Chain A
Amino acid sequence: MSIVTNDSPNLIRFLMGNEAIARGVIESGCALATAYPGTPSSEVMESLTRWKKELRYPIYLEWSINEKVAFEVAYGASLAGSRSAVIMKMVGLNVASDPFLSAAYLGVRGGLVVIVADDPGPHSSQTEQDSRFFAWFAKVPVYDPASPAEALSMTRRAFDLSEKYHVPVMLRPCLRVCHARQNVSMSGPLDPVTVGPFQKNWTKWAATPKFRLVLHGELNEKIKNISLQESDTRPRLISGAKESTLAIITSGSVSSHVQDIVVSDSRLSEVPVYKVDAPYPVNHKALQELVDSKTQTLVIEETYPVIELQLIDKTKVRGRISGHVPQQGELTPEVVERIIMNFSGVETEEMVSPTIRARRPSLCAGCPHRPAFFMIKKLFSESIFTGDIGCYTLGVNLGAVDTCLCMGASIGMASGFAHAADKTDNDQVVATIGDSTFFHAGVPALINAVHTGANFVLVLMDNNITAMTGGQPTPATDFLADGASAVPVDMEKLIRGCGVKSLEVVDPYDYRALEEALTTAKFFSHEKRSGVSVVITRRACIRSRSSSVPNIKFQVGENCDRCMTCIRDLECPAISFVKQEKIVQIDLDLCSGCGFCVDVCPSQAIAAWRNVK
């Protein structure tokens, strides 16, 4: 961990992009930051909590229930006069889009920076959407950092710009900035900035449609002024010779690949590379003049053609619209190299793609979700399984997840399947959702399902943490982001309060109890058709601090008749079939001692091996 142990200026540390952004937040005098976890953004809030502690920096931090609420909390703080930040991944901005678009009209008081991490690829997301496009849609200026060091600098510039023009400003780092590490120079933290107390003015802060029209005009004026007056909206030369008849215009993380490729190849080093730090709103005149002065210009940006589309005359432009840059997939250095070679007329060899047999991700050995999925599959063999977003999407490996749309959709979609059942044969539905996702977007869907009398079983996999993103607290935990005490929300009372009549809570390691609880739910929802039933499978994530895994390991004995039930139906990474010796084996390095396989084995061949120290 790169740790700042004092607040003396000009320290250099090896920082992850997300740590550098957090440092930029502290160096900007920010008094409040909120976030909902999501790869690749999660480490920003985690770094803030570390710096808060180590520097005793007076900032309020929270992991919010979802991105919409996170945005609204940060916006409230901005109106109160504080600098504030809200952090999320790009699909989180879809959830926060309502306040995001409205806040652009209303404007801000204390600087408000909206940090949205994009995932071209996608590596760990549902879409490859470009948040700069969303910024354009909302008429919000956006910074696009190329590296961790630049992410720190741009975070600071974003706060200044936001306060200068009274608009929210977006910082859009891509995965290759968020999860890159670099030697980064840091300055001391700035004392929290305030612009003075809130002044009531309903025509602005509670504007009715008539005044919204006025505010829209003001927003347009702000955007125009930013594009004309701020140098970050102009293309600036970062390498090559100005005189060349060609030019490359780039932005963000992909600009770092462009620069390395051009600089390292003598055949390309003359080609001038221009970078735009704030790709919306660009300075149209400066951009068009550059393009007009060249015979050809190549635009390389991640992931949508934001700069390219802002060019009025694109006849001499190559990019995504002209088909010279692929319309999907991450722009990796190999892809970028080929595009630049073709553009510059340099001969290239045929690129041979390597054969990659990537290991598929799997629920951890001992993960409490595994027994839950196993039992769902066993008892509901004819059902449709609507799944959700989290580690437990990996229930697909056990054949117990059939759909995955977005946060909370397991419940909404289960209602749809259930209500459509009269017209189809799919009348049995089981939804699975994790605790954090349930709080995030599942609660309104559950109320809706209860209210409309949808018949399905909901399995709420409660591991008491947001596991996939590294173990952040949920509203049911008794601590906040920085460890301060929180009021835990009672999940059972919440579910009962939603109107659910059938509710069971069970330890998923307990084979018989799990079987019984799911059978009861099946009878209630699928046979009696009495509405939604909920089964909470509750056990702490084995990677969390509160996890209690037995100090024992298991092995396969001589009774094993190689029926493959454990391998096929349990999909535990610790259990494998060794082809040479034709035996089923438990890897003692991986076995976590949950013992669920003992009950799964039809031949009773699995037994405790030894206690471990």
Chain B
Amino acid sequence: MTQMILCGRGGQGIVFLTRLLGDIATQKGLNVISSETHGMAVRGGSVNSHLKIGPFSSPLIRWGQADCLVSLDSSETLNNEHFLKQGGIVFENSSASSESGLYRVDASNMARSIGGIQLENVILLGFSIFLSNFEISLDDIRQQLAEGSRYRTREQNLAALEAGVRVAEALME
């Protein structure tokens, strides 16, 4: 059972991550339910997704129940912290250094250097999955990204994922 909040600003690719993880969970035969933000808020406003794997009916996570928070924007971390359970972990896109229970990767700057800001979500994903104990493995994600239809996007996403993983590996050393 996992309950995960993904958050950021409209346009940062929160829905892409939610859908990617949900597709993989579904292919693995798991029960998965999620909820996402659409409409006016997406115009640069605050957005978040709830993703729940396990025997859940509701697509929303209650306050104090999320296992982890994957945040593409540090100010959005503050807006979503109340969803975290005690001891829940935060994975954040930020240039600051990591602390206990709060792991940071400078995904925006790394993304610019490997092909464009739009890759920051996949970098953060690689970073987060390496550091968490989750129903979905890095190999599951590699496989799913490798099935992407457009060559350039596929190669860039895979490179972004590995870039995130390398930062996480270095952090653990």
Interface flag for A70 (CB, 8 Å): no
Report whether B44 and A573 are in contact in the complex, using a CB–CB cutoff of 8 Å. Answer: yes
**A180 touches which one: B10, B34, B62 (CB < 8 A)?**
B34
Q: Name the B residues within 8 Å of A393 (CB-CB).
A: 40
Report whether B30 and A181 are in contact in the complex, using a CB–CB cutoff of 8 Å. Answer: no
Q: How large is the interface on B (under 10, 10 to 19, 20 to 34, 35 or more residues)?
A: 35 or more
Residues of A548-587 contacting chain B, CB below 8 A: 573
Q: Name the B residues within 8 Å of A573 (CB-CB).
A: 44
In the assembled complex, the CB of A525 is this many whole angstroms from the nearest CB of chain B, namely 30
List the A residue with the shortest CB-CB distance to B59.
A180
Report whether B40 and A183 are in contact in the complex, using a CB–CB cutoff of 8 Å. Answer: no
Report whether A360 and B45 are in contact in the complex, using a CB–CB cutoff of 8 Å. Answer: yes
Count of interface residues, chain A, beta-carbon cutoff 8 Å:
45
A-B contact count (CB 8 A): 125
Q: Name the A residues within 8 Å of B79 (CB-CB).
A: 354, 356-358
Report whether A361 and B41 are in contact in the complex, using a CB–CB cutoff of 8 Å. Answer: yes
Q: Name the B residues within 8 Å of A333 (CB-CB).
A: 58, 60-62
Main secondary structure of the interface of B (DSSP, over half): mixed
Report whether A260 and B41 are in contact in the complex, using a CB–CB cutoff of 8 Å. Answer: no
Report whether A39 and B57 are in contact in the complex, using a CB–CB cutoff of 8 Å. Answer: no
- Selecting from B18-26, B127-135, B161-169, the interface stretch reads B18-26
List the A residue with the shortest CB-CB distance to B42.
A361
Residue-by-residue, is A163-191 near B (CB-CB < 8 Å gives 1, otherwise 0)? 00000000000001001111100000000
In the assembled complex, the CB of A611 is this many whole angstroms from the nearest CB of chain B, namely 16
Residues of B96-152 contacting chain A, CB below 8 A: 108, 112, 117
Interface flag for A517 (CB, 8 Å): no
Interface flag for B94 (CB, 8 Å): no
Report whether A124 and B39 are in contact in the complex, using a CB–CB cutoff of 8 Å. Answer: yes
In the assembled complex, the CB of B53 is this many whole angstroms from the nearest CB of chain A, namely 10
In the assembled complex, the CB of A293 is this many whole angstroms from the nearest CB of chain B, namely 25
CB-CB under 8 A for A124 and B33, given A12-B26, A334-B63, A337-B62: no
In the assembled complex, the CB of A40 is this many whole angstroms from the nearest CB of chain B, namely 6
Residue-by-residue, is A223-262 near B (CB-CB < 8 Å gives 1, otherwise 0)? 0000000000000000000000000000000011101110
Report whether A361 and B62 are in contact in the complex, using a CB–CB cutoff of 8 Å. Answer: no
Q: Name the A residues within 8 Å of B57 (CB-CB).
A: 146-147, 255-257, 259-260, 263
B-binding residues in A (CB < 8 A):
1-2, 12-14, 39-40, 123-124, 146-147, 176, 179-183, 255-257, 259-261, 263, 332-334, 337, 354, 356-364, 391, 393-394, 468-469, 573, 589
**Cross-chain pairs A/B with CB under 8 angstroms, 29 sampled:** A12-B29, A14-B22, A14-B32, A124-B40, A176-B59, A180-B59, A181-B19, A181-B32, A181-B33, A182-B32, A182-B34, A183-B30, A183-B31, A183-B32, A255-B57, A257-B57, A259-B58, A332-B60, A333-B60, A333-B61, A354-B81, A357-B78, A358-B46, A359-B46, A359-B76, A361-B10, A362-B44, A363-B43, A589-B117
> Would you list the 3 A-B pairs with minimal beta carbon distance, nearest first?
A124-B39, A39-B39, A180-B59
